[in-house]
Amino acid sequence: MNIINRLIGEIYGSTFPSGHLQRLHALIAAARTGIHPPRKAHWDEKDVVLITYADQVREDNTPTLTTFSCFYRQYLQASFNLVHLLPFFPSSSDDGFAVIDYHQVNPPYGGWQEIADLHQHTRLMFDFVCNHMSAHSSWFSHYLAQDVGWDDFFISQPPTADLSAVTRPRTSPLLTPFVLADGKTRFIWTTFSADQVDLNYANPDVLLNMVRVLLDYLQRGADYLRLDAVGYMWKTPGTSCIHLEKTHLLVKLFRAIIDKVAAGAVLLTETNVPHRDNIRYFGNGRDEAQMVYQFPLPPLVLHAIHRGSSRALRHWASSLDGGGGSTTFFNFLASHDGIGLNPLRGILPEGEIIALAQDLAQEGAQISWKTDTDGTSSPYEINVTYLDALNKQQDSDDTRLQRFLLAHGLLLAFPGVPAVYVQSILGSRNDIEGMKVTGQNRAINRQKYALCDIRRALATTGSLRQRIYTALSQLIQVRKGQPAFHPDNPMRLVDSDDTLLVMQRQAKDPQDTLWCVFNVSASTVSYRLPEPRDYHDAIGGEKIDGKQDMALGAWQFRWLRA
């Protein structure tokens, strides 16, 4: 407990009451006795994550978690051994991220028993929505009612406060007016929307309540915990209020608690920011998050395929360091959010970032904007399915499939643990109607399905959806059988023409080492491997003479073993 006491001291100094410290240790001690069995000790090449909503598939008169569990076992279990269930708690907006009650399952989804039933078939990742909660929550109702003990749970500022330095991820107002029981108006800190009120971690009572949430999720079986919007947790007016030192200390405290009660559980931080800020959440490699999102990967892969050039992707990838076994990257191409552009800043010139956004907007994507500190706006996120992001509207299905598999071949080859969004494995296109109905750009990539409809679509031979589901499922199976793709194995990039990206994934056994060659262009390209020997393609099984030039067709890739 010395680490926990030290971190509490660094965060709160003398403002953390001794009684609160005793309650904190009592919570931790109680949780240690109730958490069984132990988690998987580490990650390996067989770990592939599915990102999905708890109500992704539906049928009448059945909890959606029950329906999803059935669908998962039939269509997805062979590919994915860990499921990231996006927030499944009662919520008032933002598709679950405005949490009303952290400790309950949204009734239409089922209850904790349905979560436990799904956990019998897969490991699970829960969202720990640690920065904010719903303005319709009981916690905020207590605050508005000015009940005893709730006054400092949220953050109020006078409307005249100079908050110009605060980093803004949205164009919505930072402060939202609310009327309290005494009839007076307070302006409450709302980083993401008027319905999402930020918690005040400077109040020790808030920390205790959020630790209870953290421990509850571990006791409910969470193997991974995703810290949503974690970079904004601590606020100090006059600063950027993002990535502050006390935010990092809070993450270290969460990590210390997790290590104490649930060894093997993994902490994943969600910080959609430039790469150098993102990897700071690794801490010293052993005291903060074990995983961080690889946020530059989705837009850089997209940029490479759109431009037919791997130059920017290759240059960025050459500098990656996953942490030597104690940390690794959480790699993905698509998620419930859009394709973030902030991580590109510092990697690509601003003109190229804007051009990429404009190109996609012409093909039906939606662009979300943020307010910069100088009052101007810049593109923050592209809202689109990854399938449609890769292609033009007039492209053939064959071209769509080739580009899509190339992108996922890159995803599955990069060092780290790969994650695939459910819309990707299901071959989903832009949901324009859903976006119109909700009025939300992100709904374009959040379509939900009746179970009978999605089963029928996946059984339709020759359809793009069926072809993508089959081909991507097969590619994941091949990936899981390659020891070279263990997340801890190093990647060596080899100089090549810009139309190619060539990497070697070096396994402990040289016989398992892979050469991965990707043609990101629309042209046929020839390439000779640096090591002249005979190879076979782990994907297609063909024999390749490494002493001669190898031809790769448009958007073709190979994973080659000696």
d(CA 192, CA 129): 12
d(CA 368, CA 170): 8
Cα angle value 318/323/329 (rounded, 5°): 75
Ligand-binding site membership of 549 (annotated):
no
CA dihedral 323, 224, 45, 329 (to 10 degrees): -30
CA dihedral 336, 339, 341, 347 (to 10 degrees): 120
User: What is the number of other CB atoms lying within 10 angstroms of the CB of residue 61?
Assistant: 4
d(CA 228, CA 248): 14
Based on its alpha-carbon atoms, the radius of gyration of the chain, rounded to whole angstroms, reads 24
Q: Which residues of 239-263 are buried (b: 16+ CB within 10 A; e: fewer)?
A: eebbbbebbbbbbbbbbbbbbbbbe
d(CA 83, CA 59): 20
Ligand-binding site membership of 486 (annotated):
no
d(CA 169, CA 167): 7
Alpha helices in 441-493 (DSSP H): 451-458, 464-480
Please enumerate, as own/partner, the contacts of 57-63 that have beta carbons within 8 Å and a separation of 24 or more. Answer: 57/448, 57/449, 57/450, 57/451, 57/454, 58/448, 58/449, 58/450, 58/451, 59/450, 59/451, 59/452, 63/108, 63/109, 63/110, 63/111, 63/114
d(CA 34, CA 36): 6
Q: Which amino acid, residue 207?
A: L
Alpha helices in 150-296 (DSSP H): 204-219, 245-261, 275-278
Six-digit token string for 230: 């974690």
Ligand-binding site membership of 168 (annotated):
no
d(CA 224, CA 243): 22
Ligand-binding site membership of 228 (annotated):
yes
Is residue 158 exposed (0-12), middle (13-18) or buried (19+ Cβ within 10 Å)?
Answer: exposed
In what order do the strands lie in the sheet containing 543-545? 491-494, 500-505, 514-519, 557-561, 534-537, 543-545
Please check whether residue 265 is in contact with residue 224, taking contact to mean a CB–CB distance below 8 angstroms: yes
Ligand-binding site membership of 249 (annotated):
no
Residues forming the active site: 228
d(CA 177, CA 161): 14
Ligand-binding site membership of 227 (annotated):
yes
Is residue 533 exposed (0-12), middle (13-18) or buried (19+ Cβ within 10 Å)?
Answer: exposed
Ligand-binding site membership of 132 (annotated):
yes
d(CA 175, CA 164): 12
Ligand-binding site membership of 226 (annotated):
yes
Q: What is the DSSP letter of 73?
A: I
d(CA 496, CA 482): 24
Cα angle value 283/287/288 (rounded, 5°): 55
Please enumerate, by residue number, every residue annotated as part of a binding site for substrate: 94, 132, 226-228, 336-337, 442
Q: Which residues are annotated as a binding site?
A: 94, 132, 226-228, 336-337, 442
